[in-house]
Structure 1
Amino acid sequence: MFISEPAVDILLRGSLLTLFGMTWVVMLVRINGLRSFSKMTNFDFVMTVAVGSLLANTSQATSWESFFQSIIALASLFLVQYGAAKIRKSSDRVEALMQNQPILLMHEGEILYPALEKTRVAESDLYAKLREANVLDEKEVRAVVLETTGDISVLHGKACSTTILRGTKKVG
């Protein structure tokens, strides 16, 4: 792609195409905003994985056609994500289709076993999250929520506002 000496061409291709690809991704993120790599929805997770895969493709391209195809695919991916975020913001129906609902795993000190079963979260993992959040007494836990991102939030203390739990689903 760059020069006729194979060993040097491989070094140049790997280095320069990676530099070009990374610069392109940084430019796309600057245009699209930091939301590009957030972890708010399943769509965001897929976006992050796809960008990584396409960036790897740009770095390993063996022809200019495959390099530019990856560059165009990256731009298209950012455009699709931008459009999806706009549509999600303007339509509750699309929002519901694209995003999971947070699920309560524990409420007011009580473990919600049907929720653990439905979400396939082991009780031992729940207790690990409680310890990680420095919970000293499960009776002080106001809520444990499996978020749309797959993260687990632990809310503990004397009280929890109902607005904090707005949008969460109680299973069982």
Structure 2
Amino acid sequence: MEKVFFDSWESVLRTLIIGVLAYAVLVLQLRVSGKRTLSKMNAFDFIVTVALGSTLATVLLSKDVALLDGLLAFGLLILLQFVITWLSVRHAAISDLVKAKPVLLLFQGNYLWEAMKAERITKEEILAAMRSQGISAVEEVGAVVLETEGSLSIIKKIEGNESSVLEDVSKREA
């Protein structure tokens, strides 16, 4: 019970040194890996982020894991994320495997109930997203899209070619 609040000065110094070095290397590796690593997260990016956080915590708190092992783990996770995203840009099958497709939830005033049900989105959530964009009437909206990272995009109704920004959006009938 005596080690609940304090183990030893050696333990405190190790945590301080490892924490600063691991954090600095992690930030450096994330900067080198590019903006895509730090962009809005889809499910794949979220998993990588959780894995990086778990690795950082393990390196910081486990005396059984050396700093070099932790830095190698950071590098490996970031490299794998880079390779998967590089491949997903070049191969549709890999992209489809790691990324969700945007889904149309409302089109020209009509709620697409089947799509909403499949994506577990309520009418109230769509209305809240419209309000946050300053929309005062559903009739002002041409489309609402659930994006790959979970946000709702509100596209105002325009005359002409409304489907131009919707070409990659999965469409389910109501």
Q: TM-score range by the shorter chain?
A: 0.7 to 0.9
| Cα distance, 1:93 vs structure 2 | 1.5
Matches of 1:27 and 1:57 in 2, distance apart? 19
**Deviation beyond 4 Å, 4+ runs, structure 1:** none
1:33 corresponding residue in structure 2: 34
The match for 1:80 is: 80
Q: Hey, what's the Cα distance between the residues in 1 that align with 2:96 and 2:68? A: 35
Q: Deviations over 1:117-156 (max 9, x none)?
A: 1111122212111111111010111111111111111112
Task: Read off the aligned partner of 1:31 and give its amino acid letter.
Answer: V
Report the CA distance between 1:162 and its aligned residue.
Answer: 2.1
Match of residue 3 from structure 2: none
> Which letter does structure 2 place at the counterpart of 1:93?
A
Unaligned runs of 5+ residues in structure 2 are 1-5
Amino-acid identity (%) = 27
Q: What TM-score, normalized to structure 1?
A: 0.88
Q: CA RMSD in A?
A: 1.9
Separation of aligned partners in 2, 1:41 and 1:92: 16
Do the aligned residues in 1 keep the contact of 2:147 with 2:153 (CA within 8 Å)? yes
Q: Which shifted more, 50-59 or 72-81? A: 50-59
In structure 2, the residue matched to 1:10 is 11
Deviation readout 1:69-101 (Å, 9 max, x if unpaired) = 322111100110111111111111211122111
Q: What is residue 170 of structure 2 aligned with on the other side?
A: 169
Residue segments in structure 1 that go unaligned for 5+ positions in a row: none
Contact 2:104–2:171 (CA under 8 A) maintained in structure 1? yes
Once the two structures are TM-superposed, the CA of residue 48 in structure 1 deviates from its matched residue by 1.5
Mapped partners of 1:28, 1:149: distance in 2: 23
Q: AA paired with 1:9?
A: E
Q: How many residues of Structure 1 are paired with residues of Structure 2 in the alignment?
A: 167
- 1:144 partnered with 2:162: no
Asked if the contact 1:36–1:44 (Cα under 8 Å) also holds between the matched residues in 2, the reply is yes
User: When the two structures are superposed, what TM-score results if normalisation uses the length of structure 2?
Assistant: 0.87
Aligned partner of 1:118 in structure 2 is: 118
Q: CA deviation at 1:40?
A: 5.0
Greater Cα shift, 155-164 or 133-142: 155-164
For the residue of structure 2 that corresponds to 1:105, the secondary structure is strand
Kindly report which structure 2 residues correspond to 1:38-77, keeping only aligned pairs within 5 A, or say none.
Answer: 38-39=39-40, 41-63=42-64, 65-77=65-77
Q: Partner amino acid for 1:107? A: F
Query: For residues 45 and 33 of structure 1, what CA distance do their matches in structure 2 show?
Result: 16
Residues 107 and 142, structure 2, Cα contact 8 Å, conserved in 1: yes
The offset of 1:45, in angstroms, is: 1.6
**Deviations along 1:101-127, whole A, 9 cap, x unmatched?**
100111112111111111111222121
Q: 1:115 touches 1:171 (CA, 8 Å); kept in 2?
A: yes
